[in-house]
Amino acid sequence: MTARHTLTGNIQRHEGFHSETLGNEREILVYLPPGYRRAGARRYPVLYLQDGQNVFDAVTAFGGVEWMVD
């Protein structure tokens, strides 16, 4: 069975994010909730997930199963 894309929401891709700890540049993906751009000064909680590929989309996830955080 082939996995189907499950990517939802507003995912921003940032390439060239420098990591002091790793001493290199990484690509990071940031999920922004609905209404984020219109929220003005509203503050949101932050969750950092360091998996790499299983977070947002079943197509890129190992075994075709994503974490469904979006």
> 8-51: per-residue pLDDT in tens?
778 888 899 998 998 999 888 888 888 888 878 888 888 887 76
Enclosing domain of residue 39: 10-64
Residue 63: both structure tokens together: 């075994």
CA–CA dist 44, 46 (Å, integer): 6
In a domain, 2, yes or no: no
Band of the pLDDT at 53, cuts 50, 70, 90?
low
Total domains, the chain = 1
The dihedral through the CA atoms of 8, 33, 69, 50 has a sign that is: positive
Q: Is residue 1 part of a domain?
A: no
Query: What is the rounded CA–CA span in Å between residue 28 and residue 44?
Result: 18
The residue that leads in pLDDT, 43 or 58, is 43
Which residues have C-beta within 8 Å of that of residue 7, sequence separation ≥ 6? 56, 57, 59, 70
Residues 47/55, Cβ–Cβ less than 8 Å:
no
* Domain annotation covers residue 23: yes
Position 38 scores a pLDDT of: 85
